[in-house]
Chains A and B, each alone.
Chain A
Amino acid sequence: MILLKNGQNLKVLEVRNITKCFHSKVVIDDLSFDVKKGEVFGLLGPNGAGKTTIIRILLDIIRSDSGEVIILGEEPNESVKEKIGYLPEERGLYQKMTVLNCLKYLNQLKGAKNSSEMINFWLEEIGLTDHKDKRIDMLSKGIQQKIQLISTLIHNPKLLILDEPFSGLDPVNVKMVKDILLDLKERGMTIILSTHQMDQVERMCDRILMIDNGKSALYGTLEDIKRNFEQSLFVEYEGHFKPLDGVKMIEDYGKYAEISLESGTDPQKVLKSMIDTVTIRKFELKAPSLNEIFIEVVGDA
Chain B
Amino acid sequence: MHKTFVVAKHEFLSTVKTKGFIFSLILPFLIFIPMVLSIGIIPFAASEMPEVIGFVDESGILFASGDFVKYTDFDDAKGALIAGEIESLFTLRSDYLETGKVRVYSKTGPFNNAPTRAIETFLITGLLTESNLEEGIKKRIKEPLNAERIILKENGEVEEGGEVGIFLPYAVGFLLMIMIVTSSGYMMQGIVSEKENRTVEILLSSLSSGEILNGKILGYGSAGFLQVAIWICAGLVIISFTPLSSLLQVFEISGLLILTILYFILGYLLFASSMACVAAPASNMNEAQQGAGVFTMLAVLPLMLQGFVSTAPNSTIARVLSYLPYTAPVTMLMRLTQVNVPTYEIVASLSILAISVVVMMNLSARIFRTGILMYGKKFSFKDILSYLTD
- Which residues of chain A have a CB within 8 Å of any CB of chain B? 22-23, 59-61, 78, 81-82, 84, 86, 88, 90-97, 105-106, 108-111, 151
Contact: B6 with A108, CB < 8 Å?
A: yes
CB distance from A154 to the nearest CB of B (A): 12
Give the distance to chain A from B259, nearest Cβ to Cβ, in Å. Answer: 37
A81 to B10, CA, bound (A): 20
CB-contacts of B16-60 with A (<8 A): none
Q: Is the CB of A91 within 8 A of B202?
A: yes
Q: Can you name 11 extra interface pairs (CB under 8 A) apart from A88-B201, A110-B206?
A: A78-B207, A88-B205, A90-B198, A92-B199, A94-B197, A94-B199, A97-B14, A109-B3, A109-B6, A109-B7, A111-B3
B346 at the A interface (CB under 8 A): no
Closest 6 CB pairs of A and B: A92-B198, A88-B201, A109-B206, A86-B205, A92-B197, A61-B204
CB distance from B378 to the nearest CB of A (A): 16
Task: Enumerate chain B residues within 8 angstroms of A105, measured Cβ to Cβ.
Answer: 6, 10
A226 to B209, CA, bound (A): 42
Q: Which residues of A contact B14 (CB under 8 A)?
A: 96-97
Interface residues of B in 201-215 (CB under 8 A from A): 201-208
Using C-beta atoms within 8 Å of the partner chain, give the interface range for chain B. Answer: 20 to 34
A-side interface mostly: loop
List of A residues within 8 angstroms of B3 by Cβ: 109, 111
For B3, the closest partner residue in chain A by CB is A109
The answer, yes or no, to whether B200 is at the interface (CB within 8 Å) is yes
Q: Which residues of B contact A (CB under 8 A)?
A: 3, 6-7, 10, 14, 197-208, 373, 375, 386, 390
A-B contact list, 15 entries, CB within 8 Å: A23-B386, A61-B201, A61-B205, A84-B205, A86-B202, A86-B205, A88-B201, A91-B202, A95-B197, A96-B14, A97-B14, A106-B202, A109-B6, A109-B7, A109-B206
Q: Complex Cα distance A151/B6, Å?
A: 17
With a cutoff of 8 Å between Cβ atoms, the chain B residues found around residue A84 in the complex are 205
- CB-defined contacts of A106 to chain B, threshold 8 Å: 202, 206
Cross-chain contact of A91 among B10, B198, B375, B390 (Cβ < 8 A): B198
Q: Do the beta carbons of A78 and B208 come within 8 Å of each other?
A: yes
CB distance from A277 to the nearest CB of B (A): 49
C-alpha gap A96/B207 in the complex (Å)? 22
A90-B197 in contact (CB<8A): no
Question: Contacts of A108 on B, CB cut-off 8 Å?
Answer: 6
Q: Which residue of A lies closest to B372 (CB)?
A: A61
Residues of B within 8 A of A78 (CB): 207-208
- CB closest chain-A residue, reference B383: A23
B-chain residues with CB within 8 Å of residue A82 when the two chains form the complex = 206
Given A108-B6, A109-B6, A90 and B201 contact (CB-CB distance below 8 Å): yes
Q: List the A residue with the shortest CB-CB distance to B2.
A: A111
Give Cα A105–Cα B203 distance, bound, in whole angstroms: 11
A81 to B204, CA, bound (A): 9
Q: Point out the residues of chain B lying under 8 angstroms from A94, CB to CB.
A: 197, 199
Expressed in whole angstroms, the minimum distance between the Cβ of A148 and any Cβ of chain B is 8
Residue of A nearest to B197 (CB): A92
CA distance A94 to B13 in the complex (A): 14
